[in-house]
Chains A and B, each alone.
Chain A
Amino acid sequence: MKTLYRVATRTLLVVLPVLYVVVATAGTGHP
């Protein structure tokens, strides 16, 4: 259970920042 919790926490710590960058930034490909 503790291992599962750790894996879930670490996965979230990587997924959350990536998701945040997608929803919070804009950025346009050069026209």
Chain B
Amino acid sequence: MTPRPNRRSTAVRIGAIALATLVADAGTKVMAVGLGSVHSGLGFVLPIQNPDLSLGLAPGSVPSMLAASALGILIFGSYTAWSATRGAISSWIPGLLVGGGLGNLVDRLLFGAVHDWLDLGKVVVNLADLAILAGLAGFLVSLAVGRSRTGETP
């Protein structure tokens, strides 16, 4: 059994990863807009402003989307951060989930839409989306591993 991590150092790690994700996401969005305005020849850079939630699955007004995003970050971010301080999951998981969520929330707050730029063929996403999906994958794997080890949820 691994020793329980120090709560404070775990919280600092989560905050640092979230901040790094937020800064990296904002930086790549600015770079993508710059690259998109000149003919760069980079086929995977396609700057688009997306006013909807994930793939337009739940369209709504900007205030309702801002509220839903903020509530989601607060509830799921708090839960995963709490799980990390208990040692049930790694601290990078809430770090990526919260950092990615904040990246898109800040975009919606400032521009009323999210800047997507990374062309993956069928969809165009951004670094925040990838961070959230990586965090989600980590969370689900931790859940499955925790269950198979103890028969309990993390």
Contact = CB atoms under 8 A, between A and B. Distances in A.
Given A29-B55, A30-B121, A24 B50 contact: no
Interface in B102-128: 104-105, 107, 114, 116, 119, 121-126, 128
Given A26-B126, A28-B116, A20 B101 contact: yes
Interface string B90-110: 000000010011001101000
B134 to A, nearest CB: 12
Contacts of A24: 54, 69, 72-73, 97, 100-101, 104-105, 128, 132
Give chain B's interface secondary structure class. helix
A27 B53 CA distance: 8
A28 B99 CA distance: 20
Interface residues of A, number: 18
Interface in B56-104: 56-58, 65, 68-69, 71-73, 75-76, 79, 97, 100-101, 104
A20 B72 contact: yes
Given A23-B69, A24-B73, A30 B124 contact: yes
A31 B55 CA distance: 12
Interface of A: 9-10, 13, 16-17, 19-31
B53 A26 contact: yes
Closest 8 A/B residue pairs (Cβ) = A26-B114, A24-B101, A23-B72, A20-B76, A23-B68, A25-B54, A25-B129, A28-B124
